[in-house]
Amino acid sequence: MPTLPRRQTPDPRRRKQSQARDTPQDKRYWTNAWRKARAAYIGHNPVCVACGGLAEVVDHITPVRQGGEFWDSANWQSLCTKCHNAKSGREAHLS
């Protein structure tokens, strides 16, 4: 009699690695101060500067890890998720 294949349990190490990738490197992104500043900035700048779509992310023009100021709103730009991911991918390959 044929049997159904057993369900494999996920490897717990893989889940931890994927969670580590999803968390930002800088803990300031988890603060209420950043959430409020982000919401205010998106409220005033709701359009993605790259494609003109609806902005969902406040991006640092010069990345903080490359010397950009975290709290300087002159270093911020509104981006949609797609444009932000593309920009972040390009930056990852430059360093």
Q: Over the stretch 76-89, which tens digit does the pLDDT of each residue have?
A: 999 999 999 999 99
Rounded distance between C-alpha atoms, residue 67 and residue 59, angstroms: 14
The answer to whether residues 58 and 42 touch, using CB atoms and an 8 Å cutoff, is: yes
Mean pLDDT, range 47-55, rounded to an integer: 97
Residues above pLDDT 90, as percent of the chain = 62
Instruction: Give the start-end residues of each E strand in 43-87.
Output: 57-60, 76-79
Query: Average pLDDT, whole number, for the chain?
Result: 86
- pLDDT attached to residue 47: 97
- Separation of alpha carbons 81 and 65, rounded Å: 20
- Is the full-model pTM beyond 0.75? no
